[in-house]
C-alpha cells in the first residue's frame, strides 16, 4: 500500500512524493478515515488532518500545526490508583479517586514530533538499509545526518559481530590466533596502508 502526496513541499519543492506504508501506518490512516466518516468529512478534497478550532472541525482546511495536541499527548499521565489518563495536576481528576499525582511525570515528556522521524531513520540505518533508500523514504536528509546514520549502522554491525563471536567461541575455549587490527587513526591517507605497524 502506498500514499501519494500531490502537493509540493515548501521546504524541498520536490513535487509529488510516493510513500510506501507499513501495516501500522495503514491502520492509523484507516482509523483517521473512520473518524472522518463519523464527522461527515470523507470527500475527495477533504484533508486527512483537518483544522479544529474550539472543538469545530473543518475538513476543507488543513491543520496548520498540532503543537497543543502534541503537548497534551506527551504530558498526559495515568493515575497509578484508578488509571485515569489526564494532564498533570496536583490531584487525580477522577472525583472518586482524588489520588495525589503532583509528582507524576509522563514517560513521553520532552519527546518532539521530529524525534519519531529521527528514530525511524536510525532504525533503518541500523538494519543496513542503503543510504539512497533512506533518503527516498525520509525525503530531505542532510549530509551531516547521513554521516550520523552511517555511524549508527556501523555500531549495529559491531554489535552483531560481537554476538557472532560469543556464539562461536565457548566460554572454556580460548581463540588460538589473535589478529592485529589497525584503527582508522593508524591508517594512511588513502585508508589502505598502515602508518605504523601493529605488534
Provide the pLDDT for residue 56: 82
In terms of average pLDDT, the best of 54-58, 176-180, 190-194 is 54-58
Which class for 4: exposed (0-12), middle (13-18), buried (19 or more C-beta within 10 A)? exposed
Measured distance CA(63)–CA(46) in Å, rounded: 11
Provide the pLDDT for residue 173: 53
108-157 tens-digit pLDDT? 999 998 898 888 888 888 888 888 888 878 876 777 777 777 777 787 77
The residue with cell 546514520 is: 149
Measured distance CA(185)–CA(182) in Å, rounded: 8
Q: Which H or E element spans position 17?
A: strand 17-20
Provide the pLDDT for residue 168: 52
- Average pLDDT over the chain reads 78
147-163 tens-digit pLDDT? 777 777 787 778 878 87
Measured distance CA(38)–CA(3) in Å, rounded: 22
Amino acid at each position: 500500500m502506498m500514499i501519494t502526496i500531490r502537493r509540493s513541499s515548501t521546504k524541498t519543492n520536490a513535487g509529488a512524493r510516493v510513500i510506501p506504508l507499513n501495516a501500522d501506518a495503514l491502520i492509523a490512516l484507516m482509523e483517521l478515515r473512520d473518524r472522518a466518516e463519523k464527522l461527515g468529512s470523507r470527500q475527495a478534497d477533504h484533508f486527512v488532518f483537518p483544522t479544529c478550532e474550539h472543538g469545530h472541525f473543518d475538513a476543507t482546511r488543513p491543520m496548520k500545526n498540532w503543537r497543543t495536541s502534541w503537548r497534551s499527548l506527551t504530558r498526559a499521565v495515568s493515575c497509578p490508583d484508578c488509571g485515569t489518563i489526564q494532564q498533570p495536576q496536583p490531584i487525580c481528576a477522577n472525583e472518586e479517586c482524588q489520588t495525589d499525582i503532583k509528582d507524576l511525570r509522563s514517560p513521553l515528556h520532552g519527546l518532539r514530533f521530529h524525534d519519531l522521524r529521527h528514530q525511524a531513520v536510525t532504525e533503518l540505518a541500523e538494519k543496513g538499509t542503503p543510504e539512497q533508500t533512506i533518503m527516498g523514504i525520509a525525503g530531505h536528509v542532510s549530509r551531516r545526518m547521513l554521516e550520523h546514520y552511517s555511524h549508527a549502522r556501523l555500531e549495529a554491525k559491531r554489535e552483531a559481530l560481537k554476538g557472532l563471536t560469543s556464539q562461536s567461541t565457548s566460554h572454556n575455549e580460548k581463540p588460538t590466533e589473535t589478529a592485529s587490527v589497525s584503527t582508522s587513526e593508524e591508517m594512511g591517507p588513502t585508508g589502505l596502508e598502515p602508518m605504523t605497524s601493529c605488534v
